[in-house]
Structure formats: C-alpha cells, structure tokens
Amino acid sequence: MQAVFGTNWKMRNVDQRTAQQYLITLADGLGGLLDDGVQVCVLPPATLLPAMSEVARKTSIRLGAQNFHWEEEGEYTGELSTALLKDAGATILMVGHAERRVLFNENDEVINRKLLRALEEGFHAILCIGEADRLTPEAHLQEELSAQLVSGLRGVNKADLNRLIVAYEPHWAIGRRVDAAAPVTRVKQSVEAIRGALKTIVGAENSVRLIYGGNVNLSNCREIASVNGIDGLFVGGAAADPAGFVSVIGRALDGAPD
Ligand code: 13P
C-alpha cells in the first residue's frame, strides 16, 4: 500500500511567491521519499494553483483543490468547475470536509455528486468523513461512518477506486478551536469501522487508501500513522511551514507498518 500525505491550507492568506517557495522547500526536504513512491499532495486556496503548478510539475507532488462545483459549467456565480481547476494545475479534489459540511451546509447528496464529477473527470479524490460528536458511542460510530460512505460512494465505478482516498476526520478533532487529535483508541475503532464498511459497500476494502486528519502534529503522527489500516495523514496547522510537514511525514513513516 502506497503511503499518502496531504496538507489542506484552508483559507490561509499565502502569497504566490511564498507558496512556490513552500513547494521548493517541501520537495527538497522530502528528497528520496518522493522517489520511493510516497505520495504527497498540497491543497492550497485555488488562486495559488497556477503559480504553484509551475513548481509542482517538476516534482511528483500533487496539487489539489478544496472545493468545486459538481456541474460541468454554467450559471453558478462564484463557483469553480473541474475543468477550470484542471487547467490551473489541480489533479486531486477534496469533497466532504467537515468545515464544508458544517459551515456551508454541504449534504451527502452534494458530496456524492461532487465525488462522481471528480472521478469522472479523471481526478484523484479525497472523500472526508467523520463523526460530528466526540462522545459518539462505538456502535453509533460505525453507523455514522458507514452511512457517510454509503451515500458518498453511491454510483462510484469500482475501476475508479484506485484514485480514491478516504480521509477520516472527526469533526471534533479538527483545527485550532479544539487543539487535540482523536485518541488512538478512537482512531482504531473508526479505521476498523471504515474498512469494514468499505468491504460491504465496494467489496474492495484494501484498494482504497485511508488517511487520518485532525490535529496531527509531530508528537502524535507516529502513533496515529502506525494504526493498522491507515495509509497516511492529512495535516492542517502542523504543515503550515514546509519543514514542519517534512518532519511529520518523516516521523510518521518511521513508525508505519511496512
Ligand atoms: P488540522 O490539522 O489543523 O486540525 O486540520 C486538519 C484538516 O482539516 C485537514 O483537512
């Protein structure tokens, strides 16, 4: 299974020059890891994609977009289509992030339409799922994660699953507001639930890569990444500077099972 690490820049105000330098430093820092097949993606604000793709195209680092519209094109003021994002340099698209579900009311139907569009257009895709409440009991956890997968993956072609990454991101463990990752026991329960649900839904539980996101940092990355069934990490704040991201990746790989 190929290790995969991503960073979501959210709405951070980064200028084009700094964004390009980020990629140069990241690629330098990762060095041989990229040659060894570790997959790394960066999801900046979409306006930075063209400048960043000038640098990224000389590396195997993928650039991605945090949001897009599910229709091909048309009268959708303020939205970006997959074609526009492809032209700007994105090769991976994210759907279902907790902040979009909660703050922008994106429901399961919208998330499913977006995922189908992304895969149909040849992108790699990250489908974020996760329970809303920290106190969700284990039995409900299974139900909630499985329901998000069932609706998110409706109609997805099995042949496209090798371009899909599921990101387990419990809503209550994301961002500076909370400042703590999910405990490893919870990550283990969720990974088991997700792997089980994937087996039932698409019958290919191991061909889909699964990463964890939510307050990953240098202190917890190794333990989380070594949970059986996890293929990598999705990092926000701790990857704000490229050296931090490189350190997290290096330490996570140290502890990850072969
Ligand atoms: P933080 O690492 O800042 O909690 O963000 C994770 C995230 O939302 C990745 O999509």
Q: Is 236 in the pocket of ligand 1 (CB under 6 A)?
A: yes
Structural domain of 212: 67-255
> Which pTM was predicted?
0.96
218 DSSP assignment: T
80 part of a folded domain:
yes
232 lines ligand 1 (CB under 6 A): no
**pLDDT above 70 (res 1):** no
Is there a domain that residue 29 lies in? no
Q: If you average pLDDT over residues 213-232, what whole number do you get?
A: 96
Higher pLDDT, 175 or 73: 73
Whole-number pLDDT of residue 98? 96
38 in any annotated domain = no
Answer yes or no: is the C-beta of 68 below 6 A from any ligand 1 atom.
Answer: no
Ligand 1 atom 2 nearest Cα: 236
Q: Which amino acid does the sequence have at 40?
A: V
Give the number of other CB atoms < 10 A from CB of residue 206: 12
pLDDT bin (cut points 50, 70, 90) of residue 179 is confident
Q: Hey, what are 78's tokens?
A: 């303020």
Cβ atoms of 240 and 25 within 8 Å: the answer is no
Question: How crowded is the C-beta side of 32, counted as CA atoms within 13 Å?
Answer: 2
Question: What is the CA(74)–ligand 1 centre distance, in A?
Answer: 31
The CATH number given to whatever domain includes residue 171 is: 3.20.20.70
The number of residues in the chain equals 258
Higher pLDDT, 257 or 56: 56
pLDDT number for residue 177: 77
Structural domains in the chain (count): 1
In a domain, 224, yes or no: yes
Is residue 2 included in any domain, yes or no? no
**Would you say residue 30 lies in a domain?**
no
Instruction: For residue range 32-71, list pLDDT tens digits in order.
Output: 898 888 999 999 999 999 999 999 999 999 999 999 999 9
